[in-house]
Each structure stands twice: as structure tokens, then as C-alpha cells.
Amino acid sequence: MDKIAFVFSGQGDQYAGMGKEFFEKYPAAASVYSLCDRIRPGTSALCFEGPEEALKETKNTQPCLFATELAAAAVLAEKIGMPDAVAGFSLGEVSAAAFSGVFDWETGFRLVCRRGELMQREAEKFDTSMAAVLKLSAETVISLCGRYPDLYPVNFNCPGQISVSGLTTQMSSFFEDVKAAGGRALPLKVKGAFHSPFMKAAADDFLNDLKQAAILPGKIPLYSDLTAEIYTEDIPGLLSAQISSPVQWEKLIGNMIAAGVGTFVEIGPGRTLTNMIRKICNSVRALTAAEFLAETENRETVSAET
């Protein structure tokens, strides 16, 4: 049987109302939101009610997504069982690490709150932003970024989709270069040049926080955004360095498939990772947590009726 992997999403898919259905239907989800609200009051209200502008602030986005992701993962673990492997895109790697047992969920939530604060702090120092470049090869995007002193290719998402971080003042000219090369560039819903050198101070400070946390080996294989390989050692170093380093998502998913993963379940409020994985390999299954849960519950209903 194909192995199952849970993949936890990053910033950009957040929206007011996310997680509310799971919260209202499943006690396992409600308990996660309760935990997060005890540590950071108002987290669940921000997830369920917004406002949208507040949700876009990195210091709010990251803890809210963490809560929503762990709530969904808790329900799937209870109803279906544990996956064979986990990974997470950017902030989703902290969610994946907590779910895998690298640290307890309370510690994970405190860490992700700190991560969001640090990254927003650095984002506010400069006028920076991110964009997704479509229809161009990684080599072409790297070459185009090389024309600018403060633009960096940072997220290698899937074939024909690379994210770029850097100074906003250089983006408009870069967009024209992308268009001239036959590609398309779209601004992303984040405020900051994540996974670039602009985040180096945040990565350094987050490393200090991680070194003070209780880190465990983990119970499920956890893949690193930085190396695209399974974590074996130096969890604090890898988990902090990815803040200011490119996310090797396409390579990571390829390595998971090579290790026998045939079903990917996206843990998060959107379907960005689901769409990416389908572009990376159309022979594996990729679906959202809600779809996977509904599929399982439908099978159980049919089985009970027969």
C-alpha cells in the first residue's frame, strides 16, 4: 500500500472563517483551539471571524494557521490514524514538527508565535514583498533575479512556479523582465521578503529560541524545507535557517515519492500544496484534509449500510 504523508501549508491561504467547521464538528479540533486561546487569547476568534486585514499580519497569520493546521491534523489522526511521513511549507514546517513530536504542541505554538513576531519585525525594516513567477524554468528565474541586487529566488514550488523575494521597488521592473521572457509574475499575499537574506536576523533569533526549547527526536519522519531530506540531527539549526533560505519544495516532494509516498493530504485552509503536488507528479494522489476525511467517512457510511 502507498504511504500517506501529511503536508502542512504556509502563509497565503489564510481567510476569515478557516477552521470553524472542524471546530464546531470535532472535539479534537476544539481542544487544539482551546489550547492556543489559553496561550494567546483571541486566536480562534481571529481565525473564525477575522478581520482579513489582521489575518494578513505575519505575527497573526502564523499562529492562526498553526492552530488551524494542528486542529485538522488532530481530527485526521483520531479518525484515520497517523501518516507515514510529514512535511510543511515554510511556517507549515513548524506545524509538521509539532505534529511529528519534535516538540509538544504548546511549545510549538509558542515557537510559531515567536517566529511570526520575528519575521514581521524584519519585514517592517524594509519595503519588501514576494511574487510568484509562472511559466519559466528555475534557471531562467535565477538568471533574471541576478540582474537585481536585492531580489532572490526563494521557493522552488513545482515545475513552472518559483517564488521571488526582495525590495518592492525592484519588483515592477522585474515583472517586465519576466513578461519579456514569456512568463507571468503575480504578487503574493504576504508582507515581507521571506526566505531571503532580509530574514537573516529573524533566523538567528529564532535559533536562540529553539535552543531553549525541549527538542525530541520525533515519532514520524519529518522532511526539511532546507535540505529536502528527512531530519536526522540539528533540528534547531535546520528549522531556523529555512526562515532565510529557499524552500526546496519540488525536490522535497520528489524525495517523498521516491520513499514510497503515494497519497499527500494537505493540512491547512486551502489547496495550494495540493495543486503544486499534482504539477510535480500526476501519478500520486493529492487532496485536502477535508476531502480526505469526507472520503473516509463516506466509505465508513457505505460499509455500515451494507
Active site positions, annotated:
90, 195
Q: Which of 164, 158, 154, 163 is nearest to 253 (CA)?
A: 158
Q: CB–CB of 83/219 below 8 Å?
A: no
Burial tier of 208 (Cβ tally within 10 Å: 0-12, 13-18, 19+):
exposed
Residues contacting 136, CB < 8 A, separation 6+: 144, 160, 162, 178, 181, 182, 183
Give 222's DSSP letter: B
**Distance from the Cα of residue 76 to its chain's centroid:** 18
Q: Which of 92, 91, 108 is nearest to 35 (CA)?
A: 108
**Distance from the Cα of residue 280 to its chain's centroid:** 17
Distance CA 247, CA 110 (A): 23
Q: State the CB neighbour count (10 A cutoff) for residue 285.
A: 17
**Distance from the Cα of residue 96 to its chain's centroid:** 9
Report which residue type is found at 223: Y
